[in-house]
């Protein structure tokens, strides 16, 4: 196997590992702001049901989608139009679900973006306008009202014999499409304790966070109570100045710890190996055995002026191709990520081979890490 072929194969197999191939002396330092959240300061999800009008014949089929027809009749009743006695054949209306995230400390009168998604059999929401739609939280309270022109990223076009669809034309977005009507009360300045929640729970990381906060304050005000939570007791000097305290805390830098883990996405062939992954001494061989069976048609014709028949038969040809360039590589005990990558590179593995090799190493008990398949 030549050098160019090896490099090309290894590049395909380890593209997801390129950013991880660093020396063992390099450490990733992060701000607390980037690895944790302050408990209570979070988004709240909103949802609502509404109607989109103004579609160019791409809306719901009123005859088959009952909830769209009933919603349209009810909406017309509210504005003084009685449509219950007649037939409604419009295809310019679609029933939709409207979703949004209410950010923390959002104030009355401010605007947020909303997402609109078709609920019935509408083909395209392009050009549609969402009518007034109340958006409620999990407690049933209406916190915002949405309305506006829908921006659709997907397109759809069709002819007599062919159609083309790009993206998802049955969902769209309304920038600043909802006005906040009610606020979620949260008295930040009255807090006596601040809970810091780690996004990736880890005991070592939680202890490092508390140590960094205590070093900054000069007092043991922070304490890690489990792998995901650090409780910070607000010092007397910061009473009434919670924002100042949180600003200083979130800018502190620590080195997050991590588990020895290998993550495999079998669908796309992506493999990510953490820097803490270790392997005991073992030997790896990678090779392929290919068996190819081909049916070759053979024609048998009778002699001239005979009463025979022309017969077509198949003759099978079997070919066995064994990869003679397969190599046996020895990996020593406790090798790190870089050494593992170098060892696999020397085999010229493909993405599928890499996944199989890692799973086989784990099965042998030589891989000191957790394998997660997604």
> Does pLDDT of 8 surpass 90?
no
Instruction: Select, from the ranges 110-119, 156-165, 250-259, the one with the highest average predicted confidence (pLDDT).
Output: 110-119
pLDDT at 93: 94
**Exposed / middle / buried, residue 280 (Cβ in 10 Å: 0-12, 13-18, 19+):** middle
**Exposed / middle / buried, residue 247 (Cβ in 10 Å: 0-12, 13-18, 19+):** exposed
pLDDT at 89: 78
Higher pLDDT, 348 or 101: 101
Lowest mean per-residue pLDDT among 4-8, 184-188, 229-233: 4-8
Dmax over Cα atoms in the chain, in whole Å?
A: 116
pLDDT at 363: 83
Q: Which residue has the tokens 């490099």?
A: 7
pLDDT at 337: 57
pLDDT at 331: 55
Confidence of residue 148 (pLDDT cuts 50, 70, 90): very high
Task: Summarize pLDDT for 79-102 with one digit per residue, the tens.
Answer: 888 877 767 778 899 999 999 999
For residue 322, give the H/E element and its range: strand 311-322
Here the tokens at position 5 are 């072929």
Higher pLDDT, 275 or 96: 96
Do 125 and 152 form a contact (C-beta atoms < 8 A)?
A: yes
pLDDT at 317: 61
Please tell me the distance from the alpha carbon of residue 66 to that of residue 74, in angstroms, as a whole number.
Answer: 12
pLDDT at 12: 41
Higher pLDDT, 126 or 308: 126
pLDDT at 328: 53
**DSSP conformation class of 218:** T
Percent of the chain predicted with pLDDT > 90: 41
> Does pLDDT of 366 surpass 90?
no
3-state SS record for 19-69: HHCCCCCCCCCEEHHHHEEECCCCCEEEEEEEEEECCCCCCCCCCCCHHHH
pLDDT (average), residues 224-246: 93
Per DSSP, the three-state class of 196 is strand
Higher pLDDT, 339 or 145: 145
pLDDT at 130: 96
> Does pLDDT of 301 surpass 50?
yes
- Where exactly are the structural domains of the chain? 3-26+261-373, 31-41+187-254, 44-180
pLDDT (average), residues 247-252: 95
Higher pLDDT, 85 or 356: 356
Confidence of residue 190 (pLDDT cuts 50, 70, 90): confident
pLDDT (average), residues 289-302: 61
| Burial 26-57, CB ≥16 within 10 A → b, else e | eeeeeebeebbebeeeeeeebebebbbebbee
Average pLDDT over the chain, rounded to whole? Answer: 80
Percent of the chain predicted with pLDDT > 70: 74
> Does pLDDT of 291 surpass 50?
no
pLDDT at 334: 57
């Amino acid at each position: 196997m030549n050098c160019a072929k090896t490099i090309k194969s290894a590049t395909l197999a380890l593209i997801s590992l390129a950013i991880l191939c660093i020396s063992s002396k390099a450490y990733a330092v992060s701000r607390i702001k980037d690895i944790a959240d302050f408990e209570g300061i979070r988004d709240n999800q909103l949802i609502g049901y509404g109607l989109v009008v103004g579609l160019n014949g791409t809306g719901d089929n009123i005859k088959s989608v009952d909830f769209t027809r009933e919603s349209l009749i009810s909406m017309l009743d509210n504005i003084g139009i009685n449509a219950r006695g007649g037939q409604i054949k419009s295809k310019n209306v679609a029933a939709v679900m409207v979703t949004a995230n209410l950010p923390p400390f959002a104030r009355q009168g401010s605007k947020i973006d909303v997402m609109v998604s078709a609920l019935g059999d509408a083909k395209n929401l392009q050009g549609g306008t969402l009518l007034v739609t109340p958006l409620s939280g999990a407690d049933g309270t209406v916190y915002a009202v949405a309305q506006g022109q829908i921006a659709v990223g997907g397109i759809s076009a069709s002819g007599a014999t062919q159609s083309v669809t790009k993206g998802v034309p049955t969902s769209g977005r309304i920038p600043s499409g909802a006005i906040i009507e009610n606020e979620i009360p949260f008295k930040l300045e009255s807090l006596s304790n601040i809970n810091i929640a780690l996004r990736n729970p880890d005991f070592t990381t939680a202890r490092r966070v508390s140590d960094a906060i205590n070093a900054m304050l000069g007092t043991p005000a922070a304490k890690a109570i489990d792998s995901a939570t650090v409780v910070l007791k607000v010092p007397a000097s910061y009473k009434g100045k919670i924002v100042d305290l949180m600003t200083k805390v979130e800018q502190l830098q620590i080195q997050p710890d991590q588990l020895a883990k290998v993550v495999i996405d079998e669908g796309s062939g992506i493999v990510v190996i953490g820097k803490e992954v270790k392997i005991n001494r073992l030997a790896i061989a990678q090779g392929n055995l290919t068996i190819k069976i081909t049916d070759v048609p053979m024609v048998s014709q009778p002699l001239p002026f005979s009463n025979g028949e022309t017969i077509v038969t198949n003759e099978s040809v079997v070919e066995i191709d064994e990869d003679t360039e397969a190599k046996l590589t020895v990996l020593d005990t406790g090798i790190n990520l870089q050494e593992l990558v170098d060892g696999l590179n020397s085999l010229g593995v493909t993405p599928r081979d890499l996944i199989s090799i890692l799973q086989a190493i784990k099965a042998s008990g030589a891989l000191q890490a957790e394998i997660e398949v997604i």
